[in-house]
Structure 1
């Protein structure tokens, strides 16, 4: 789904980011391996010990500009922070500083991409704020009694909305 021209542009963006980091820290860093695999709702993922980032090909195809301005710097920041500081909070002060001071990016931790193109199955839960969609994985954890989820706005426990089955009709 990601063509060779896009891969070239991604490599160019990575070189630019690594050049900025090298200048800022006065040292070089090894370039990461880049993979392109679907990964749920994650736009990108950094694999710290492997020095690898994974980019979601479907979300990339629908949000190219945001990938170059936000997602790629976000994942590169994770790798560089690990190489400089070791294990720290994933979106802690070191990561935030890398994003803002080194790359001049807002240190946002979540994307707001339309997930419709992913065609993910979800289950509807709700609280007083309204409906919330949970992934199959999270729904299964609730069903097994292993997990409960809370609303990010009001803090209330999410409960499953049971959809009513379609009424059956007699055709004859």
Structure 2
């Protein structure tokens, strides 16, 4: 990662951290961050480690969105944990931090193009459409460990 991108990440963290410091009147330290997230996940917050982990491929492909949404999203998890303890990951406390403290929408999922990071998928069918499942979910179905249902029609997904 270039020094300019590292600086942009640190600036984003500090910008939103300053908002939290002002809102909660607490001197938070800057969390550690690294690029140890793989797959389709954009980022993860490690609460007890005070750490943010980012997906390096998705970051390079979506730098502005990461700086303006993913980093504050993960930082909000850390702040919520510090202020309120263990709470629902995207519950009212997290939403309060996102909307009222950071001044951004409380989106819980990204909409990045994941074609560059997505592995092999398997086609499954419900009553209303086709679904592409990851190899992990496919293997769980094959081992009879899990079953998945469509969130729209609620029917069980069947291998095509």
Higher RCO structure (Cα 8 Å, ≥6 apart): 2
Point out the structure with max Rg over C-alpha: 1
Say whether the fold is shared (TM-score over 0.5): yes
Say whether residues 1:41 and 2:40 are aligned partners: yes
Taking structure 2 as the reference length, what is the TM-score of the superposition? 0.95
Deviates most, 76-85 or 23-32: 23-32
> What is residue 5 of structure 1 aligned with on the other side?
4
1:91-106 equivalent positions in 2, closer than 5 A: 91-106=90-105
1:111-154 Cα offsets, whole Å, 9 max, x none, are 11111111411111121231111111111111111111111222
- 1:4 deviation in Å? 2.0
Query: Mind listing any 5+ residue stretches in structure 1 that lack a counterpart?
Result: 162-172
After superposing on structure 2, the runs of 4+ consecutive aligned residues of structure 1 that deviate more than 6 Å are: none
Q: What is the distance in 2 between the residues matched to 1:102 and 1:15?
A: 14
1:21-78 Cα offsets, whole Å, 9 max, x none, are 0001111112111010242210000111111111101111111111112111110000
When the two chains are superposed, the root-mean-square deviation of aligned CA atoms in Å is 1.1
Taking structure 1 as the reference length, what is the TM-score of the superposition? 0.89
Contact kept in structure 2, 1:38 and 1:58, CA below 8 Å: no
> What is residue 31 of structure 1 aligned with on the other side?
30
